[in-house]
Structure 1
Amino acid sequence: MYGGGYIFDEPNRRQQHDEQLHDDPEKLQQFEARITAGAKIEPGDWMPTEYRRQLTRLIEQHAHSEIMGALPEGTWITRAPGFKRKLALIAKVQDEVGHGQLLYNAAETLGKRREAMINDLLSGKSKYSNVFNYPAETWADVTVIGFLIDAAAIVNQVANAKGSYGPYCRALERICYEESFHLKQGHDAFIELATGTAMQRDMVQQALNRWWQPIMHFFGPPDKNSVHSEKLMQWKVKMASNDEMRNQFLDAYVPKIWELGLTLPDEQLRKDEAGRWQYADPDWDLFFKVINGGGPCNAERVKVRKWAEESGRWVRTALMHSTHARALPVA
């Protein structure tokens, strides 16, 4: 569901510079020539230290976001209105967890073990998307997640599916295919409330008001505040800037919201003469507080993941012993 456009906790400039000094200049030139030519980089290929690190962080955080993103929707499976909505939500949550598995597999090809990634998530070292730090208070919140947050993620993922690292691109191709169905599910549920009774319209309007700032935060800070975006885009780790993706999302979905007679909590939201969206600057201090562990639901979400990790350890241990036993030669 949730994508990796903005890379949190990037290394400081001195550390980045020191590590790049160890990259072979000739190999770096050949690498960048391959990127420019549109070639895909595969796990066994030479790659710059910083490329490997930033790509590992990007894919890992994307994987964490898929897993953590299943939690707010998962709590609504038993409360979804009607049997068909329950079935659709079960399927969606199952897909999101599967996306996490695909992405952890892709990240492992860069040399970081899954256990280390999970440990970094549980310790707070590794981050996940800001939007999954918030509660889903009503069914309308679930429809906003399914429609607008999935839509924002698709903008991100479709762009990154054209990136330079083969395993990530192939994972994203499948993820985007499945996300298109998730978007339809969320859109259908959103429309049902928006065109329903006065109480239903009020419920979806309130959910929209709650989620609008987290959605604007989703793509990350303005490009003017990004230190490493130019190099990451040159290497096709990122395929579009934060502001470009945010504008693309607004262009596609703000008119759909307004057509339903709903409003957005931003009086400055409009298009300028050049066709780009203007909007009130979101509270970026809040954004950084949330992604660094200060979100309203972060402690709860991490606690659930810790419980799942500890409760499922015996299954993983049994599977590993079983696999090892089958691999032993027969006497």
Structure 2
Amino acid sequence: MDGRTAEFLEHVQSGGLVETGDWMPDEYRARLQKFVEMHANSELMGVLPERDWILRAPTLQRKLALTAKIQDEVGHAQLLYRVVEDLGKPRDACLEDLIAGRSKFHNVFHYPTRTWGDVGVIAWLVDAAAIISQKALLKCSYAPYARIMRKICWEESFHILHGRDVILTLVTGTDGQRELVQEALDRWWEPLMMFHGNPIPADEDPMVHWRIKSQANEDARQQFLEGYVPQVWELGLTLPDPRLRRTDDGVWEYTEPDWDKLMAVVSGNGPASAERLAFRRLSRAEVDWVSRAVLAEAA
């Protein structure tokens, strides 16, 4: 490591911040760009599991709430793509890589939404898992990313409340409505346990090394389990892991997920990966004329 890189590393590890115009090592820029790009992709692709349920939401209030949530997520994607642009990769290139399958998005958005119970579980537990990671990004060494995360975290906190309200309405309703939640929970638990990634130690994680992330994967998963498993049990729901328990020293034990399956899913081999990417390609093709018209007028 050369002296300038060592000085930069010491700066970020001691809590220093990096602005867009500052010098940064190539490795830091590359890792940061890839990380934020995946985050942006995930926000954009994350609207697809829920958009199909706008017209099928049970009440007008639910339709409006779900529409507002989706608008928030698309807005988050636009903000994050702007960060990637400042790091040197144009937005069009990000979208082309996404629809071509060359870049990744989060595992949970590769799965289908079969019932209204799925919508509740996504907004409550998937968004809860996400905000744990996102709050840790408020301490990111790259200041523009950390600043944007303030807005994203604030809005995501409302999404969790929306999801919990959907879940509470269902579990206190009919037996059939309660079963919708339990069945969805059974299907979504494995993706949720994979959400924070494999349990790589913090001192071996290059993202923590550069203080792009400030939290180890397993710490995030433990925080999620500590915060939400008791809530699930309090509602009289069960979780499909017979090993799941909290030990006397406060650590949650669980059946370790198949990490090879996680890699396969995020590489585009999930149950709904092909469908989601096909929709995004079609959507991009349908609005391409708008971009051409606007750019032509600007020229």
Structure 1 counterpart of 2:260: 285
Aligned to 1:298, which of 263, 273, 282?
Answer: 273
Deviations 1:195-247, CA, capped at 9 Å, x for gaps = 211111111000000000000011111225x9951x32132111111100000
What letter corresponds to residue 105 of structure 2 in structure 1? Y
Task: Give 1 or 2 for the bigger CA radius of gyration.
Answer: 1
**Cα offset, 1:36, TM superposition:** 3.0
What letter corresponds to residue 219 of structure 1 in structure 2? H
C-alpha distance in 2, partners of 1:303/1:57?
Answer: 22
Aligned to 2:33, which of 56, 60, 63?
Answer: 56
Deviations 1:31-87, CA, capped at 9 Å, x for gaps = 123213322101111111111111111000000000110001000000001000000
Report if aligned partners of 1:269, 1:277 keep a CA contact under 8 Å in 2.
yes
Question: Structure 1: 5+ residue runs without aligned partners?
Answer: 1-20, 325-331
C-alpha distance in 2, partners of 1:158/1:245?
Answer: 10
Deviations 1:254-290, CA, capped at 9 Å, x for gaps = 0000000000000100112221110011122221111
What letter corresponds to residue 225 of structure 2 in structure 1? L
Q: Establish whether residue 181 from structure 1 lines up as the match of residue 181 from structure 2.
A: no
Q: Report the TM-score when normalising by structure 1.
A: 0.88
Report if aligned partners of 2:247, 2:253 keep a CA contact under 8 Å in 1.
yes
Report if aligned partners of 2:129, 2:224 keep a CA contact under 8 Å in 1.
yes
Q: Establish whether residue 265 from structure 1 lines up as the match of residue 240 from structure 2.
A: yes
Report if aligned partners of 1:147, 1:185 keep a CA contact under 8 Å in 2.
yes
Structure 2 counterpart of 1:18: none
Deviations 1:113-169, CA, capped at 9 Å, x for gaps = 111111111111100001011111000000000000000000010001111001111
What letter corresponds to residue 102 of structure 1 in structure 2? L
After TM superposition, the structure 1 = structure 2 runs for residues 125-140 of structure 1, keeping only pairs within 5 Å, are 125-140=102-117
Matched residues, number: 299
C-alpha distance in 2, partners of 1:245/1:33?
Answer: 25
C-alpha distance in 1, partners of 2:293/2:16?
Answer: 41
Report if aligned partners of 2:203, 2:209 keep a CA contact under 8 Å in 1.
no
After TM superposition, the structure 1 = structure 2 runs for residues 229-248 of structure 1, keeping only pairs within 5 Å, are 229=205, 231-248=206-223
After TM superposition, the structure 1 = structure 2 runs for residues 139-150 of structure 1, keeping only pairs within 5 Å, are 139-150=116-127
Distance 1:114 1:227, change over 3 A: farther
What letter corresponds to residue 154 of structure 1 in structure 2? I
C-alpha distance in 2, partners of 1:272/1:48?
Answer: 42
After TM superposition, the structure 1 = structure 2 runs for residues 1-331 of structure 1, keeping only pairs within 5 Å, are 25-223=2-200, 229=205, 231-324=206-299
Alignment RMSD: 1.3
C-alpha distance in 2, partners of 1:296/1:269?
Answer: 25
What letter corresponds to residue 182 of structure 1 in structure 2? H
Determine helix, strand or coil for the equivalent of 1:236.
coil
C-alpha distance in 2, partners of 1:317/1:203?
Answer: 45
Which of structure 1's runs of 4+ aligned residues deviate more than 4 A? none
C-alpha distance in 2, partners of 1:129/1:119?
Answer: 17
Moved more, 288-297 or 135-144: 288-297
What letter corresponds to residue 273 of structure 1 in structure 2? D
C-alpha distance in 1, partners of 2:33/2:269?
Answer: 24
C-alpha distance in 2, partners of 1:34/1:67?
Answer: 33
What letter corresponds to residue 62 of structure 1 in structure 2? H
Question: Structure 2: 5+ residue runs without aligned partners?
Answer: none
Report if aligned partners of 1:164, 1:236 keep a CA contact under 8 Å in 2.
yes
Report if aligned partners of 2:198, 2:217 keep a CA contact under 8 Å in 1.
yes
What letter corresponds to residue 128 of structure 2 in structure 1? A
